[in-house]
Amino acid sequence: MRKGSILPVTLREKIQKKRATIGVIGLGYVGLPLAVGYAAKGFRTVGIDVDKRKVESINSRKNYIVDVDSRELAKVVRQGHLSARDDYSCISSLDVVMICVPTPFTKSKEPDISYILAAAEGIAGGLKKDQLVILKSTTFPNTTEGYVLPILERKGLKVGKDFFLAFSPERIDPGNKKFTTANTPVVVGGVTRVCTELACLITEQVVSKAIPVSSPKVAEMEKLLENIFRSVNIALVNELAELCDRMGGVDIWEVIEAAATKPFGFMPFYPGPGIGGHCILVDPYYLSWVARQHDFQTNFIALAAETNENMPFYVKNMVLREISMLPVSLAEAKIFILGVAFKRDVDDTRHSPALKVMELLLLDGAENISYNDPHVPEVEVDSRRFKSTLITKETLSLADCVVITTDHSTYDYPLIARSATLIVDTRNALRAVHSVKARVVRLGDGL
């Protein structure tokens, strides 16, 4: 920390000596890894979640997040460093409170920060002096200062003097084994300088580096930029994939591979059946909403989001086109979907494009759809329950059309290529398979 810091000595010393009690509100893909991380460093940590099943699972030493080490979770709970509860009665006993709740959008694509507001209200009821609150949920600029701060100051305590508030967005990449919570730098923006210093100090107890910025608004916008950057570039290659299919004779995958040989000025992105997860799909709409409050239209960003959301429709039409050339009706056709998680090697199905493809096929009259996903045992699509079907030579050969929507690394792609008769590959998953008996139609292959 900077020499001559004016941090409150009591809270600073509590953090440095690991005597601070940490609270994490929201025990999902962001909150649970964070809570386990602090507990593993010796901090007494309390997780808070309204989902009683999550609370019971943690207190029973049972893990439910792929990116969390089950043995580590069991260890910190057994040692008494981590516990969970489903209410806010412990707030006054906490020194640091981190908000890691969902931030979805409404049916009209407007931000829904009701979970953030509910967490702020819960904290306000037990807010005490020298307490640090850090909002980590991805949201639009001015959420921290314009919405959370007024709730926390309602009883007369003043930010920067009596309590401290900052925004520090999560940078969790589900399934990423190389970059984790521990070794990924984190941006921190406090309402005041002291708020920023405190937030950086607690962050660096479990993260390799905290990067301070001038305000919560900068940190909030930075997070949106990260994800919208990906959204725009994915939309670009998705649109080019469609163009290659229409032109014929140009394979977008080969084009990207060739472009990626340039050592500067180019970063490869890849097409697919759409985007999923929480942030990349949601964030463009958060920014577009706040832009409209300032009489500004984010046309470029909105178009990219629209392009990505149209991809499941494009993939559905690819499947319908291929089935139309078979001696079987759509209602009778056996369609086998491989992968329903939103990305490779995770169990997260939030906004999964694979589920959207299944929904669209059902709406168009497909009646015989099955799926496999080694990470997702069952799903609900259009009010229908589906259970994962084993991948065998028989299940593949009986399918009229196999659709690869998520390229899990555990899949036996040579077996899939040998056993199926027709494959729609939206991820270029069969690129390394040399012996292919099936007819393979790839997204963007230009054939």
CB burial of residue 387 (10 Å; 0-12, 13-18, 19+): exposed
Quote the CA–CA distance of 291 and 141 in Å, as a whole number. 10
Residue of 422, 246, 389, 245 lying closest to 323 (CA atoms): 422
Residue of 139, 94, 102, 95 lying closest to 119 (CA atoms): 102
Quote the CA–CA distance of 48 and 32 in Å, as a whole number. 10
Asked if residue 306 lies in contact with residue 425, where contact means CB atoms within 8 angstroms, the answer is: no
Asked if residue 104 lies in contact with residue 112, where contact means CB atoms within 8 angstroms, the answer is: yes
* Chain-centre distance for alpha carbon 209: 21
Asked if residue 35 lies in contact with residue 22, where contact means CB atoms within 8 angstroms, the answer is: yes
Quote the CA–CA distance of 233 and 412 in Å, as a whole number. 30
H-type helices in 296-344, by residue range? 299-324
85 dihedral zone (left: phi>0; alpha: psi -120 to 50; beta)? beta
51 dihedral zone (left: phi>0; alpha: psi -120 to 50; beta)? beta
Q: Sheet containing 186-190: which strands, arranged edge to edge?
A: 82-85, 44-48, 21-25, 96-99, 131-135, 163-167, 186-190, 210-212
Tell me whether strands 368-372 and 378-381 are parallel, antiparallel or unpaired.
Answer: unpaired
- Of the chain, the end-to-end C-alpha distance in Å amounts to 58
Tokens coding 62: 């049972």
Quote the CA–CA distance of 16 and 37 in Å, as a whole number. 16
* Those residues with Cβ within 8 angstroms of residue 93's Cβ, 6 or more apart along the chain or in another chain: 21, 46
244 is catalytic: no
Of 100, 195, 279, 401, catalytic: 279
User: Within 10 A of 262 (CB to CB), how many other CB atoms are there?
Assistant: 10
Please give the positions annotated as active site: 279
